[in-house]
Structure 1
Amino acid sequence: MARRRRAPFRRLLKRAFLRALIRSFPRLGRLSPFLSSALAEMLFRTPPRSPRLKREERALFSARFSKTPFRSGSLPTWKWGKGPAVLLVHGWGGHAGRLTPFVEPLTNAGFSVVAFDAPAHGSASGRRSSLPDMVEAIRAVAARTGQPHAVVGHSLGATACALAIQSGLPVSRAVLLAPCAELEKYSGRFARILHIPVPVRDSMKKRLERRYKITWKDLRISDRAPAREVALLVFHDRGDVRVPLRDGLEIVAGWPNASLVRTRGLGHHRILRDPKVIGRAVAFLGAALDARPASPSVRRQPFRLRPIPVS
């Protein structure tokens, strides 16, 4: 009983701490730009840990469990069924359980399904993560579990899927649900929520560029052509307040052989559980089972999102 009470109390403390930070950012930015940008960067790289629902736990329990080695320790990995693999990638602050509504329809269609907790998400090790870390995690899981036929990603996980494909992940098809077109827009929304002044946000962005040895343009999907032709299907809700529909439109406009399905009333998260969305996604992935790429390994291109070990 004491343990059950402790978790909600910790969440309350974290919320109170975040509220205090939000109130202090404007003043802290004036007093110490360096400290405020370092704090903003830490918060930007710290995902919330979301609890799993009982139905998600049941779905994960039915899978074959393993651990994928990663720089930060290991990534919990689950696999269901036999056949061409579909890799499921959750969004920021999510976990592998979020996409388990896709598991049964995909396995019934003849696919195997692989899901994992991204770095610092779910039960994975680590406290900090980022979009580049999620891209590297996709590569690590793909190399460990076998070449995927396709990927299904949600939100920032969908962005990571697109970047992994654009830098050489050999899949035939991809489904992106509520994808974010670029990390710069995401950072802008993050700064507005926390009332971070523009100079502090810009300093935070420079710190992240130095840490990961990339530019923000490297993380813009519409500026990069895929390394190989990959058919893309994007689902985006008209009323998504987390990631607006224009992000999905921008991605489809810049991606060869892509199409967009606009939904209504599903928002940012219910889109993951909608039977019509899932059914259409499974049908799309199944249409190219005979067109799988020939190489059995994950090819690497010059573009590398490989974070350097900075604490």
Structure 2
Amino acid sequence: MSSKIYFNTSGGLNLRRRATNLITRAYHKIAPSHAVKTARNLLLTPEKILKPSEQPEGMRIKTIQSSEGNLMTYALGKGPVWLLGHGWSGSASQFFPLMETIAAAGYTALAFDNPAHGNSEGQHGHLPGFVKGLEAVIDQEVDELAGVVAHSMGCTMVLESRHPKLVGKPMLLIAPVLNYRDNLYRMVDISGFSLRLFRDVVGEIEQQYQYPIDTVDTNARLSEHQGKVLIVHDMADRFAQIEQSRNANALNHVDLIETEGLGHSRILNSQAVFDAFHTISQSMASGHRISSISLQPFQVEG
């Protein structure tokens, strides 16, 4: 979905919202087929990152084939794989600094551009395509999976996948959207976009992939996961609601680190995330519970 809608958190009734609602409802009523086509391009075309992070030395770049088109993968380091999945309108390049940390710890950091994102093929992005892309990368590029790092919608992608190599693996979830379905409808409603038109666009994807949006229950998938989970989430995140992560913290296998002053995106390259990776990887190596290792809140000064 266009970031102008997907990341719209202004809320409330205003002239722009009312105008958007009237226009999209009228367009859908007058020319339904054309409206759906236009809406598909608007809602499912992600924005590109204009200034990607500098590529680390030694990065191995490879293109793989998938049902969603050719996907670009990026690998750094040697050893068991930590797989990284980005969110909407993101790219693998957002993980480059963290990948250096992972590689330095004796692992292979493997990231990829989701369909229609970064340097991968595709015009339209959506959750079923994300899951298909993830599973293609695992099938073709992962022999020994150590764990998973994901951000935002990438967390939903990872938890929604039923790939056997993900079972029981530790996960570092950064600013997860744990109420994906409800959050998506909330964002569309806040924008003023016609919900009926949105449902028609979603319906096409549901039919194509046999993947009803009403079956998406990220909280349930998280509770069912058999591996350790560490969440890093900023208290002032305007897109992914931290209350969802706080609720998840009640699960025995989930721990939460709260940050302050990092928001939804800057948190990716924060010391809090780097330290969280060391925490979860060390807990796996030692066999200790994550909660037995000190988890401190982080605050950005200045």
Residue in structure 1 matched with residue 26 of structure 2 by the alignment: 27
Alignment of 1:269-308 (within 5 A): 269-289=265-285
Q: Deviation of residue 166 (structure 1)? A: 7.6
| AA partner of residue 191 (structure 1) | V
Name the aligned partner's letter for residue 38 of structure 2: L
Q: Distance in 1 between matches of 2:58 and 2:26?
A: 51
With over 3 angstroms needed to count, the CA separation of the structure-2 counterparts of 1:224 and 1:88, relative to structure 1, is closer
Amino acid at match of 1:218: T
Secondary structure at 1:210 match in 2: helix
From 144, 158, 161, the equivalent of 1:161 is: 158
Q: Which residue of 1 aligns with 2:113?
A: 117
Q: For the Cα contact (< 8 Å) 1:174–1:231, is it kept in 2? A: yes
Distance change (3 Å), C-alpha of 1:227 and 1:212: same
Shift of 1:284: 0.9
Structure 2 CA distance for aligned equivalents of residues 119 and 251 of structure 1: 29
Matches within 5 A, 1:56-71: 56-59=53-56, 62-71=58-67
Report the 3-state secondary structure (helix = DSSP H, G, I; strand = E; otherwise coil) of the residue aligned with 2:166: coil
Amino acid at match of 1:31: I
What is the alpha-carbon distance in structure 2 between the residues aligned to residue 67 and residue 290 of structure 1? Answer: 35
Matches within 5 A, 1:131-210: 131-146=127-142, 147-164=144-161, 169-170=166-167, 172-192=169-189, 194-210=191-207
Structure 1 pair 65/162, CA: closer, same or farther in 2 (3 Å)? same
CA offset at residue 233 of structure 1?
0.8
Inter-CA distance 202–92: structure 2 relative to 1 (3 Å threshold): same
Q: TM-score, normalised by structure 1?
A: 0.77
> How is 1:247-266 mapped onto 2 (pairs within 5 angstroms)?
247-253=244-250, 257-266=253-262
* Comparing 217-226 and 132-141, the one that deviates more: 217-226
Task: State how far apart, in whole Å, the 2-side matches of 1:119 and 1:49 are.
Answer: 12
Q: How far 1:125 moved relative to its partner?
A: 0.9
Taking the aligned partners of 2:35 and 2:247, their CA distance within structure 1 comes to: 32
CA gap of 1:195–1:50, structure 2 versus 1, over 3 A, is: same
**3-state secondary structure, aligned to 2:161:** helix
Partners of 2:91 and 2:98 in 1: CA distance: 14
Q: Once structures 1 and 2 are overlaid, which stretch shifts more, 105-114 or 197-206?
A: 197-206
Q: Is 1:77 matched up with 2:77?
A: no
* CA distance in 2 between partners of 1:100 and 1:31 (Å): 47
- Counterpart in the other structure of 1:229: 226
Cα offset, 1:221, TM superposition = 1.1
Deviation at 1:220, TM superposition (A): 1.3
**Any gaps of 5 or more consecutive residues in structure 2?**
1-16, 288-302
Aligned partners of 2:231 and 2:268: how far apart in 1? Answer: 12
Contact 2:64 2:73 in 1 (8 A): yes
Aligned length: 268
Distance in 1 (alpha carbons) for counterparts of 2:158 and 2:248? 12
Asked if the contact 2:116/2:122 (under 8 Å) is kept, the reply is: yes
RMSD between aligned residues: 2.7
Residue 268 of structure 1 aligns with an amino acid whose one-letter code is H
Higher mean alpha-carbon deviation, 145-154 vs 210-219, is at 210-219
Q: Is the 8 A contact 2:76 2:103 kept in 1?
A: yes
Once the two structures are TM-superposed, the CA of residue 252 in structure 1 deviates from its matched residue by 4.4
For the residues of structure 1 that align with 2:207 and 2:106, how far apart are their CA atoms?
44
Q: In the alignment, what sits opposite 1:90?
A: 86
Separation of aligned partners in 2, 1:289 and 1:213: 39
Question: How many angstroms does 1:218 deviate by?
Answer: 2.3
Report deviation, 1:167: 6.8
Shift of 1:223: 2.9
Report the counterpart of residue 128 of structure 1 in structure 2: 124
Give the equivalent residue in structure 2 for 1:47.
Answer: 46
Tell me, yes or no, if the aligned pair for 1:28 and 1:36 is still in contact at 8 Å.
yes
Q: Is the 8 A contact 1:87 1:151 kept in 2?
A: yes
How far is 1:82 from its partner? 1.0
Q: Distance in 1 between matches of 2:220 and 2:147?
A: 22
Check 1:290–1:261 CA distance in 2 against 1; reply closer, same or farther (3 A cut): closer
* Aligned partners of 1:165 and 1:171 also within 8 Å: no
Amino acid at match of 1:90: H
TM-aligned CA distance change 1:118 to 1:198, over 3 Å: closer
In structure 1, stretches of 5+ residues that fail to align are: 1-18, 292-311
In structure 2, C-alpha distance between the alignment counterparts of 1:203 and 1:251, rounded to whole Å: 32
**Separation in structure 2 between the aligned mates of residue 267 and residue 99 of structure 1, nearest angstrom:** 16
